[in-house]
Structure 1
Amino acid sequence: MKRVFLMYVLFLFATAELQAANAPAGKETGSWGGEAELGYVQTSGNTDTTSINARIDLLKRHGPWKHEVEITALRSSDQGMTTADSVSARYRAQYGLTEIDYLFGSLRVEDNRFAGFDRRLTEVLGYGRTVIHTEAHTLSLEAGVGARQTDNVDGTQNDETIIRLALDYAWQITETSSFKENIFVEQGSDNRLTESVTELKLRINGNLSMKTTLTIKDNSHVPVGTENTDVTTAVTLVYDF
């Protein structure tokens, strides 16, 4: 029931934006932009390993609305055996109340059997505030409530209400380099998920950049035989559009 209610509110977010998009000419309009990145590593000889990770992040602004769609995938193998295999997709709608205050709704689905679950669906509604906004630095803080449904690899299921706290920081170091840090905690009755994503991006030429990313994910409760913390370091080529 909680999931149905949250998805209904997210639907209202999207419907309201579509109505704004159909407003009379002269209103501010926006188009989709974003970035696509790809990383690949293969070794052979004494060791035979392969790792590939991909991500696409789409962003659209329309008046007070901001929409984001993100899809990520990671697959690794060692000596022919799969050691990592995860896919996630996220949709987020944000509505600006003022220049610094906003409401948001997000829907995220993940599949990562090596982290102990076959599928996890998370819905969140919340409020955010940009507490620092300069030419070089931006810092936003968020708080929200939602629901999470998890299908574990051991056949059990968890359905819980969650509280989400998040921090999003961006630093434009120079015209060609930037740093980002995103941290969130989602606390539920069965599990606490903490995730930190640290990025350093250097523009090579035109729309092409190189990015180094450190991702740390920690689940407080996992099935027996599964590690609580996953750490991923990635170096990727990024195309901005």
Structure 2
Amino acid sequence: MIRLLTALPLLAASAVASAQWQPSAELGIVATSGNSDTTSVNGRFGLTGEDADWTHDYHLAALRTESNDDLTANRYEIGARSARKLGERSYLGAAARYENDDFAAYDYQGTFALNYGTWLLRDEHRSLQLEGGPGVRLARGSETGEDETSALLRGFGEYKHQLTDSTRFFNTLLVEAADDNTFAQNDIGIAVSINKSLALKAAYQVRHNTEVPVGTERTDTLTSVNIVWSPKAE
């Protein structure tokens, strides 16, 4: 699966050099001491690129939490998307995602899907993007230790709204539906610019698996306040 992630840029190798690339990085740290000692760190690095014919979106995200010297959360995720534009509003592409989670129903989940997508809205202040298509899911159950392979349908939607010059609202939904499990993740939040390169982002994330072992919660949530670095393109 990781090979698929690294191979996606090769699907658009002729366009990568000409794309205008935009990096971003964010970090949030929460530490408490006293009756309980808790440290939580979450971070994300993203890289997007676009030219006249292609769009690219890659990211790496991680979460780690310790409470009273016990590890209570440890997760990382790698994702990649590349698409060939069919016009101003539609495109064809591929997406891959791999996650490793020490405290989830699955030791790892990896997906690869082909997508048809469209921008229902795309202007200076708002954008609404929808995409979907068939794919394959690879996973290993944390309880059984067995590898699973299944077909899936992937759906993705993202809405962004530049409310003011300094304030942006966003909502992103990902659904990966397979026979043995349906994974869904929704991220909603707001980002407020501090200066040209830094912003403060508050977000609420919900992750849900329909099939989990006994004693494991189906839904995980994460509330975060992060500092985001993203240099403005010239």
Give me the TM-score of the superposition, normalised by structure 2.
0.92
Output the CA distance in 1 between the equivalents of 2:15 and 2:97.
24
Structure 2: gaps spanning 5 or more residues: none
Q: Which has the larger radius of gyration?
A: 1
1:94 maps to what in 2?
Answer: 83
The 5-angstrom pairing of residues 169-208 of structure 1 reads 169-208=159-198
1:18 maps to what in 2?
Answer: 13
Indicate the SS of the match to 2:34.
Answer: coil
Worse-superposed segment, 217-226 or 129-138: 129-138
1:44/1:122 CA distance change after superposition, 3 Å: same
Output the CA distance in 1 between the equivalents of 2:127 and 2:65.
34
Give me the TM-score of the superposition, normalised by structure 1.
0.89
Output the CA distance in 2 between the equivalents of 1:21 and 1:84.
35
Q: Confirm or deny: 8 A CA contact 2:173 2:186 kept in the other structure.
A: yes
TM-aligned CA deviation for residue 135 of structure 1: 2.4
Indicate the SS of the match to 2:194.
Answer: strand
Question: What amino acid is aligned across from residue 101 of structure 1 in structure 2?
Answer: S
TM-aligned CA deviation for residue 80 of structure 1: 1.0
Q: Is structure 2 residue 113 aligned with structure 1 residue 124?
A: yes
Output the CA distance in 1 between the equivalents of 2:25 and 2:79.
15
Q: Is structure 2 residue 31 aligned with structure 1 residue 42?
A: yes
Please, which of 80, 93, 97 is the counterpart of residue 104 of structure 1? 93
Question: What amino acid is aligned across from residue 55 of structure 1 in structure 2?
Answer: R
Indicate the SS of the match to 1:32.
Answer: strand
TM-aligned CA deviation for residue 194 of structure 1: 1.2
Worse-superposed segment, 129-138 or 65-74: 129-138
- CA deviation string 1:21-64 (max 9, x = no partner): 57xxxxxx234212100010111111110000010011112331
Q: Is structure 2 residue 49 aligned with structure 1 residue 60?
A: yes
Aligned length: 229
1:73 maps to what in 2?
Answer: 62
Please, which of 21, 32, 44 is the counterpart of residue 32 of structure 1? 21
- CA deviation string 1:122-181 (max 9, x = no partner): 101110111122322211111111011101212122211001122210100011110110
Structure 1: gaps spanning 5 or more residues: 23-28
TM-aligned CA deviation for residue 16 of structure 1: 4.9
Q: Is structure 2 residue 139 aligned with structure 1 residue 150?
A: yes
Output the CA distance in 1 between the equivalents of 2:35 and 2:16.
57
RMSD of aligned Cα (Å): 1.9
1:211 maps to what in 2?
Answer: 201
Output the CA distance in 2 between the equivalents of 1:187 and 1:212.
28
Please, which of 214, 228, 231 is the counterpart of residue 224 of structure 1? 214
Q: Confirm or deny: 8 A CA contact 2:12 2:82 kept in the other structure.
A: no
Q: Is structure 2 residue 123 aligned with structure 1 residue 134?
A: yes
Indicate the SS of the match to 1:185.
Answer: strand
TM-aligned CA deviation for residue 68 of structure 1: 1.5
State percent identity of aligned pairs: 31
Q: Is structure 2 residue 230 aligned with structure 1 residue 235?
A: no
Indicate the SS of the match to 1:225.
Answer: coil
After TM superposition, what 4+ stretches of structure 1 lie above 6 angstroms from structure 2? none
Q: Confirm or deny: 8 A CA contact 2:200 2:226 kept in the other structure.
A: yes
Indicate the SS of the match to 1:73.
Answer: strand
